[in-house]
Structure 1
Amino acid sequence: MGVESDAGKRKRRHAGRWIALVLAAIVVLAVGGFAVYVNDYYHAASDNGAYLESTESVPVEQTDGLLAFGDPDSQVGLILYPGAKVAYDAYAPLMSGLAERGVFCAVVEVPFNIAFFGSDAAAKAIEAYPNVGSWYVGGHSLGGVVASSWAADHAGEVEGVVLLASYPTADLSSSDLRAISLYGSEDEVLNRDAYDEGRAKLPSSVEEVVIEGGNHAQFGNYGEQAGDGEASISPEEQWAEASFAIADFMKMRAS
Structure 2
Amino acid sequence: MILLISDLHLEEERPDITRAFLHFLDTRARHAEALYILGDFFEVWIGDDAMTPFQQGIAQALRRLADSGTRIYLMHGNRDFLLGKAFCREAGCTLLGDPHVLPLNGEKTLLMHGDSLCTLDIGYQKMRRLLRNPLSLFILRNLPLSTRHKLARKLRSESRSKTRMKASDIVDVTPDEVQRVMARHGVKTLIHGHTHRPAVHELLVDGKMVRRIVLGDWDKQGWALQVDENGFNQSAFALD
* TM-score higher than 0.5: no
| Structure 1 or 2: more strand by fraction | 2
Structure number with greater Rg is 1
Structure ranking higher on relative contact order (CA contacts 8 Å, 6+ apart): 2
User: TM-score when scaled to structure 2?
Assistant: 0.35
User: TM-score when scaled to structure 1?
Assistant: 0.33
